[in-house]
Chain A
Amino acid sequence: MKYLDEFSNPQLAGVLLERIRESATRRWAIMEVCGGQTHSIIRHGIDQLLPETIEMIHGPGCPVCVTPLGMIDKALDIASQPGVIFCSFGDMLRVPGSSKDLFRVKSEGGDVRVVYSPLDALELAQANPDRQVVFFGIGFETTAPANAMTVYQAKRLGIKNFSLLVSHVLVPPAIAAIMESPDCRVQAFLAAGHVCTVMGTREYPPLAEKYEVPVVVTGFEPLDILEGIRRTVIQLESGRHEVENAYPRAVAEAGNPVAKQMLEDVFEVTDRAWRGIGVIPRSGWRLSDRYREFDAEQRFAVGDLQTAESSICRSGEVLQGLIKPHECAAFGKQCTPRNPLGATMVSSEGACAAYYLYRRLDLPAEVAHA
């Protein structure tokens, strides 16, 4: 059982929960798109504190989890090549490729480095002119401006030994794909606050209109999430489907215009495969022609690798909200954070890892007591 005193402001959390309880007269299924929100919801037991009629469905918004296997294999291939310094965020280290992960490549002598920012990778390129420095450019619209700026700088400074392995994904096409799925149960969305910090909120009204689904822009903190849910439930109960901004302290309607302009210059929209889900049309970015020389896929010719996905992992269904992590037969048995079969068990923003870390009681009895 979860208790309210785990919240930074238990009184306010109590009031918000009470309001949600008063408003909800029917069953509603709400998807939080963002993995950071999933982490916060499970960690604080928000889904357990909510009235039983409100179901939180966890969405595909963990960039680590949705990076396709083929892209991980390309990263592993490039990182294993002599003369390469391969830079990545720390949470990519243990994402399983077809046969290993970046952590293994490092243990085997590959020069894999964890950086805090893509600019750190660019500095490494400047400091090591005789090496090829490659940065693994994953992430949603929040991360893309950093990578765009880094490539822009590389071009401006004439740095030739830097390249980006690009695997950027976009939220709005994923929302559309979820709503178009015949199995879709989602009735409302909490949109990812920091994606909107960059992109603003104007992409969402057409989606809310077309799919008749409320979209509430929501932050990461537990109270933000409760407020997002409260507003969503009020819309659902009154039959409205509008875009609301419940995170105005960080999100302006226009987003960040400087960042958007940089994105437009450096990237162009492309079809992208999502791990476990498949290709979603026009759901990602790749480098535009002007910056194509910085594309690691071209520089290292990693075009046609064979991939082999675990046959038991159901992370695709988890990412689309079709099953909950513990409904996967491997959950907590063959698949744990120590020995992950799918990316959703690796990243702390992945739903499987969040359930494993904070929901020991939901494990099969023999595992929970092990």
Chain B
Amino acid sequence: MCLAVPGRILSLQERNGTLMSIVDFGGVQKDVCLQYIPDATVGDYVVVHVGFAIQRLDEESALQTLAEFEHLGVLKEEFGNGFEIAARQAGLANPETAQPQQSDEPEVRS
């Protein structure tokens, strides 16, 4: 969780009086809060940490970083299902699927 991942802003929207956006991280799309980069706009690349854009980034650096993170296997960890990852690591059953509540699998398109 301590990494910040660059992504591209696909759309902007106002929610509850807050500037939100959908950001694409090389195929994974997430809701991202833009309040800290208020002048960002569609098509811009931003560095995102736990759902908040904290810095703008140029396209070339952003794409390089994404490719690097993909290579490091970091993206799966950042956007994968936390219980699934923990269950695999522990060699235990995933308590989320044992008692289904809500599935928040990210849509990973590759």
Contact = CB atoms under 8 A, between A and B. Distances in A.
A pairs with B: yes
B51 A116 contact: yes
Contact of A93 (B38, B51, B80, B83): B83
A156 interface: yes
Interface in A104-142: 106-107, 109, 111, 113-120, 139-140, 142
B1 A258 contact: no
A256 B82 contact: no
Contacts of B50: 89, 116-118, 139, 143, 146
Interface string A30-61: 00001110011001000000000000000001
Contact of B68 (A8, A63, A142, A145): A8
Nearest to B96: A106
B48 to A, nearest CB: 9
A194 B49 contact: yes
A156 B18 CA distance: 11
A10 B92 CA distance: 39
Interface string A143-159: 10110010001001100
A119 B49 contact: no
A337 interface: yes
Interface residues of B, number: 53
B42 interface: no
A8 B35 contact: no
A338 B90 contact: yes
A291 interface: no
B17 interface: yes
B75 to A, nearest CB: 13
B72 A34 contact: no
Contacts of A63: 1-2
Contacts of A103: 83, 86-87, 90, 92, 95
Most buried by A among B38, B51, B92, B99: B51
Nearest to B78: A116
B24 to A, nearest CB: 15
Contact of B95 (A43, A107, A120): A107
Contact of B18 (A64, A145, A153): A153
Most buried by B among A61, A145, A252: A145
A106 B106 CA distance: 21
A348 B51 contact: no
B57 A249 contact: yes
A341 B13 CA distance: 45
Contacts of A197: 4, 47, 54-55
Which 3 pairs of residues, A with B, have the shortest CB-CB distance? Answer: A90-B82, A117-B51, A114-B82
21 contacts: A8-B68, A89-B82, A91-B1, A93-B86, A103-B92, A106-B96, A116-B79, A116-B104, A117-B33, A117-B52, A119-B31, A142-B2, A142-B54, A143-B2, A145-B36, A149-B33, A194-B49, A197-B4, A198-B54, A250-B4, A259-B54
Interface of A: 8, 34-36, 39-40, 43, 61-64, 89-91, 93-94, 103, 106-107, 109, 111, 113-120, 139-140, 142-143, 145-146, 149, 153, 156-157, 194, 197-198, 220-222, 249-252, 256, 258-259, 262, 337-338, 348-349
Interface of B: 1-4, 16-18, 30-31, 33, 35-38, 47, 49-52, 54-55, 57-58, 61, 64-65, 67-69, 71-72, 77, 79-83, 85-87, 89-93, 95-96, 98-99, 101-102, 104, 106
